[in-house]
A and B are shown apart, each in its own frame.
Chain A
Amino acid sequence: MARDRGSSEDFARPIRRILVAGTVLVLLAVFLLWRIDSPRAERLRAAIVDRIVPNLEWALVPVTKTAEMVEGFQSYASLYDQNQELRRELRQMRAWREAALQLEQENAKLLDLNRVRLDPALTYVTGVVLADSGSPFRQSVLLNVGARDGIRDGWATTDGLGLVGRIFGVGQSTSRVILLTDSNSRVPVTIQPSGQRAMLMGDNSSLPLVEFVEDPGEVSPGDRIISSANGAVFPAGLLVGQVVLGTDNRLRARLAADYARLEFLRVLRSGGPPPIDQPGQLIVPADPPETPMPAAGIIAGEDSADG
């Protein structure tokens, strides 16, 4: 190498080395900036994505549609089986519909008796999925609604049936939804009918883990998982999915939302956590309680009351 071939450019070597070092340093500076002041860097990221991705929308939409049509065409092959299956499901659904109607009437009566007011704050904005995360290690989608539609960080997102994720990163006309399957997703949930609290922890697989269950003995596969209002992350009572036992014998959640076909998502105006506008500070209650710790029995009582 150093013998003859590069010798004609020997004068350029030190300059080249400085150029390489400079470029790498600039890139590492960007990385350090992101590490030190993550919220601001993520806003920058949202702004960049906001600038680039909508430009591709004209191409993204037809390609996606074509791919979906091909998929739909393939399913023609199994049309007969599908038809039979749908008929079977329809029969079951009729029975459920009857049950649901009766329950609805009963529920309305009970609510009336109790004079319960339902939370009117849960209105929603619907967005179309623009793009994927593009990376194998991140599970997120990009919606075509953003700050100009009033979207804010932390709002819950559903696909109409089940919880999908939360808003994380808002640009002017796009916003990113971090899915429950992302390895950074941690969501407090309640498992019905036992009322156990747990955390739903994404691990990049399609079945997120159900961890920190108070008493795993009371949870069995098939139980319903709904969101809980713990930590003010999400509004309570959104359907998340069902408990299943993974192949590794850990409790996992089969999500109710159809993750293979995320097309339209509802962003619930749910309040969400306080906005992060400064780095590295603990989020504490505004007025710390002055009374000493209450007895353990009272804590347990409160827990069971709002769970």
Chain B
Amino acid sequence: MAESLGVQRVIWRFAFVGVATLIAFVQLLPLGSGSGGLPGPDLIALLAIAWVLRRPDFVPIGLIAVVMLVADFLFMRPPGLWAAIVVLGTEFLRVREQGLRDLPFLVEWGLVAGVLLAMTLGEALARLAFMVDQPSLGLTLIHLILTILAYPVVVGVTAFAFGLRRAAPGEVDDMGRRL
């Protein structure tokens, strides 16, 4: 990697937008429309979480906010609500990223599962408070469970296909600050 960290960051940020676009694109394909199948995992939110826990400097808060807001608009969700919740969730994890570096993956998975549960509950409460129609409980639960189960897959793809790993101990940025 000859590029400086600044160039790397820009490349990774574009990669994030690109992967999110690809996921949205696949989900928009008119293949399984209409049938009440299983609600798939929320891959874009998982992607943001997985990257925040690997290299938080590659996915700044503004990028997550914009990508999630556009996804809200595209996927017919109440615009802004889920985006705000994902931003809060990723910020919660971003602060704890350094503490998680030395811990096994299972701990990280458990923490992410807890955060996802809290995010889903928060969304349900917000929908209740603002009297937006609730999706049925069963579907929401299946959605949540599938999302939690898909997390290791997203992390695996992130690590092996993209080669995105945690910052090594002692790695510094251009200004000499520790990552």
Contact = CB atoms under 8 A, between A and B. Distances in A.
Interface of A: 1, 5-6, 8-9, 19-20, 23-24, 26-35, 41, 44-45, 48-49, 52-53, 56, 59-60, 63-64, 67, 129-142, 176, 179, 181, 183-184, 203-206, 259-260, 262
Contact of B28 (A29, A35, A60, A260): A60
Interface stretch (B2-10, B103-111, B113-121, B127-135): B127-135
B164 interface: no
A4 B144 CA distance: 35
9 contacts: A23-B65, A30-B79, A53-B74, A60-B29, A64-B30, A133-B33, A135-B75, A135-B76, A206-B36
Contacts of B156: none
A175 B99 CA distance: 48
A59 B30 CA distance: 12
A262 to B, nearest CB: 6
B178 A8 contact: yes
Given A34-B80, A52-B70, A140-B76, A1 B28 contact: no
A206 B80 contact: no
A170 B88 CA distance: 32
A52 B40 contact: no
Contacts of B74: 48-49, 52-53, 134
Given A6-B98, A206-B35, A60 B88 contact: no
A56 B28 contact: yes
Contact of B33 (A20, A139, A203): A139
Nearest to A263: B30
Nearest to A35: B130
B73 A132 contact: no
A48 B75 CA distance: 11
Nearest to A184: B133
Given A129-B30, A133-B76, A5 B98 contact: yes
9 residue pairs, one from A and one from B, having the closest CB atoms: A136-B39, A259-B34, A30-B80, A31-B80, A27-B84, A205-B36, A135-B75, A131-B28, A137-B135
A117 to B, nearest CB: 35
Interface string B60-87: 0110010001100111111111011001
A146 to B, nearest CB: 16
B151 to A, nearest CB: 17
A53, A129, A131 pick with most chain B CB within 10 angstroms: A131
B34 A20 contact: no
Chain A binding surface, main DSSP class: helix
Contacts, number: 157
Contacts of A5: 98-99
B65 A27 contact: yes
B84 A35 contact: no
B31 interface: yes
Question: Interface range on chain B: under 10, 10 to 19, 20 to 34, or 35 or more?
Answer: 35 or more
A56 B25 contact: yes
A160 to B, nearest CB: 15
Given A132-B33, A259-B34, A137 B98 contact: no
A52 B73 CA distance: 10
B177 A9 contact: yes
Contact of A179 (B27, B34, B91): B34
B177 A183 contact: no
A37 B38 CA distance: 32
A218 B74 CA distance: 43
Nearest to B37: A136
Interface string B25-61: 1011111111111111000000000000000000001
A131 B69 contact: no
Interface in B128-149: 130, 132-133, 135-136, 139, 143
Contact of B29 (A6, A32, A67): A67
B165 interface: no
A141 B177 contact: no
B125 interface: no
A132 B139 CA distance: 18
B71 to A, nearest CB: 8
Nearest to A47: B73
B23 to A, nearest CB: 10
Contacts of B30: 60, 64, 129-132, 141-142, 262
Nearest to A180: B34
